[in-house]
């Protein structure tokens, strides 16, 4: 059992803190956002993440999990300090390090005894080396610390599961002492098989970027294959499932869609491209993945226009799904943003519905209508666009929708609505890479 302080109680920091408490450590989750901390202290969960509320309650009750907005005191109380603050994309495309740097300064001021400084946030390759140099330069004699890169591989919407049952834990450090302590905090994970991999700091940083950008590349690849399928009469559903039977390919991340979003793929891809340019090493695959994703998002708008085969001006379009993927309230880089912008740019009217992300999207678009019931959003619509793969959109009452829509156009960007039902009911529909029935 170790004393751990996590700085940054966002989608990553909160799940990491709770997970480490679940593993028997004593954890303080710190955040600069006082409202967020007071919500957490009063038992409210500021983000939507399946299973998070119950595991937070359990660990608070067992006095392993605490929340604080006092970063100095929380650093002094713990031996392991984990940095999980945001590293959002700058306008130039690389990672904005201001939050990480401000946390490093706070740690520097509060190092009175040996500490492990561990970066969980996704940071540009080489950041660890720079942090070590900063801390060592400012250091009082005799005070000792070690640095660890421990990147996260949590998917939003399944982050609790991904944390408690990880495919791998990467511990990047040159210090055996720090490695031992980090293994200790993940102890319950290697009672049976050992998912822990010991690497250098730079290797750990690269593993994160290489993994995420590969997943982004894989999605852009299947999206382009799906687009080609539409022109050659092939069905992406069968293509992807047959591809996935090859163990070297695997069937994961082969679902075509409206383009990937989220706080990670676009940012991590951009950051790796920026690093490759800085090092003058061409990464054509990543630039292609980025461009293909931009194209895919734009293609959805064109698909909608072609579907209704008329101008969108004055047309009411129901947009179902606002978050960047199902099971999250996060709209960062969501393809729904591009779709809404496109419809508004053509003079269309948007009625939006998402099971939980309406509030998040309202911060970006105040000039569209939001509904708490999917059928209210669809009523009187000229067309309906499915943007995320929420389960409730897989079970829409199509006969009811046919009766309440003004015109029966459906664009399914996630291939989750049964085509034979759509054609039986007389809908005019489109999706991604499917052979129409």
> Which residues contribute to the site for ligand UDX (CB under 6 A)?
7-13, 31-33, 36, 84-87, 99, 102-103, 121-122, 152-156, 212, 215, 219, 253-255, 257, 260-265, 324-325
C-alpha angle 412-416-418 in degrees, rounded to nearest 5 = 95
Q: How far is the CB of 137 from ligand UDX (least distance, A)?
A: 21
State the nearest-atom distance from the C-beta of 280 to ligand UDX, in Å. Answer: 25
The question of whether 29 is a catalytic residue gets the answer: no
Helix (H, G, I), strand (E, B) or coil at 223: helix
Q: Which residues pair with 27 in a beta bridge?
A: 4, 65
Tokens of residue 418, six digits: 């049964």
Which three-class secondary structure state does DSSP give residue 170? Answer: strand
Q: How far is the CB of 79 from ligand UDX (least distance, A)?
A: 20
Q: What is the distance between the alpha carbons of residues 136 and 75, in angstroms, rounded to a whole number?
A: 18
What is the layout of strands, in order, in the sheet containing 409-412?
Answer: 369-371, 349-353, 316-320, 383-386, 409-412, 428-430
Q: At its nearest, how many Å lie between ligand UDX and the CB of residue 313?
A: 29
Residue with smaller CB distance to ligand UDX, 36 or 115: 36
- Beta-carbon contacts of 381 under 8 Å, excluding residues fewer than 6 positions away, are 316, 317, 318, 351, 405, 406, 407
**Is 82 in contact with 5 (CB distance < 8 Å)?**
yes
User: Whole-angstrom Cα distance, residue 109 to residue 87?
Assistant: 22
Residue 158 CB, nearest approach to ligand UDX (Å): 7
Left if phi > 0, otherwise alpha if psi is -120 to 50, otherwise beta: which for 253?
left
CB of 66 to ligand UDX, least distance (A): 15
**In this complex, which beta carbon is closest to ligand UDX, that of residue 258 or of residue 348?**
258
Our CB check for ligand UDX shows the closer of 107 and 381 to be 107
Token pair belonging to 132: 């070590």
Give me the long-range contacts of 400-406 (CB less than 8 A, separation at least 24): 400/375, 401/375, 402/426, 402/427, 404/375, 404/378, 404/379, 404/380, 405/318, 405/378, 405/379, 405/380, 405/381, 406/316, 406/380, 406/381, 406/382
Nearer to ligand UDX, 33 or 176 (CB): 33
The residue (of 83 and 318) whose beta carbon lies closer to ligand UDX is: 83
Q: Choose between 1 and 294: whose C-beta lies nearer to ligand UDX.
A: 294
Active-site residue numbers? 264
């Amino acid at each position: 059992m170790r004393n751990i302080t996590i700085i940054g109680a966002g989608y990553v920091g909160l799940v990491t803190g709770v997970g480490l408490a679940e593993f028997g450590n004593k954890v303080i989750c710190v955040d600069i956002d006082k409202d967020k901390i007071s919500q957490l202290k009063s038992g409210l969960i500021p983000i939507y993440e399946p299973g998070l509320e119950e595991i937070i309650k359990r660990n608070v009750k067992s006095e392993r999990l605490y929340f604080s907005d006092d970063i100095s005191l929380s650093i002094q109380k713990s031996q392991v300090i984990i940095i999980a603050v945001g590293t959002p994309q700058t306008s130039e495309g690389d990672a904005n390090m201001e939050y990480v740097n401000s946390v490093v300064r706070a740690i520097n001021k509060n190092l009175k005894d040996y500490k492990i400084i561990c970066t969980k946030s996704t940071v540009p390759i080489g950041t660890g080396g720079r942090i070590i140099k900063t801390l060592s330069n400012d250091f009082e004699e005799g005070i000792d610390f070690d640095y660890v890169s421990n990147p996260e591989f949590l998917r939003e919407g399944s982050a609790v599961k991904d944390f408690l049952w990880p495919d791998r834990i990467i511990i990047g450090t040159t210090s055996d002492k720090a490695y031992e302590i980090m293994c200790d905090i993940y102890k319950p994970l290697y009672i049976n098989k050992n998912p822990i991999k010991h690497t250098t700091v730079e290797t750990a940083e690269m593993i994160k970027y290489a993994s995420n950008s590969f997943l982004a590349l894989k999605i852009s690849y299947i999206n382009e294959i799906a687009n080609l399928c539409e022109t050659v009469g092939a069905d992406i559903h069968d293509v992807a499932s047959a591809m996935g039977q090859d163990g070297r390919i695997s069937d994961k991340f082969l679902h075509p869609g409206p383009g990937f979003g989220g706080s990670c793929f676009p940012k991590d891809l951009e950051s790796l491209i920026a690093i490759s340019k800085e090092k003058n090493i061409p990464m054509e695959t990543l630039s292609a993945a980025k461009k293909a994703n931009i194209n895919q998002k734009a293609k959805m708008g064109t698909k909608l226009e072609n579907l209704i085969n008329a101008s969108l001006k004055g047309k009411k379009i129901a947009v179902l799904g606002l978050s960047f993927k199902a099971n999250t309230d996060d709209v960062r880089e969501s393809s729904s943003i591009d779709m809404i912008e496109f419809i508004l740019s053509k003079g269309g009217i948007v009625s939006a519905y998402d099971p939980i992300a309406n509030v998040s999207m309202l911060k970006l678009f105040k000039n569209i209508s939001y509904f708490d019931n999917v059928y209210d959003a669809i009523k009187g619509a000229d067309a309906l666009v499915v943007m995320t793969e929420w389960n409730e959109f897989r079970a829409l009452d199509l006969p009811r929708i046919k009766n309440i829509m003004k015109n029966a156009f459906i664009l399914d960007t996630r291939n989750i609505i049964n085509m034979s039902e759509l054609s039986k009911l007389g809908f005019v529909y489109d999706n991604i890479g499917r052979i129409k029935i």
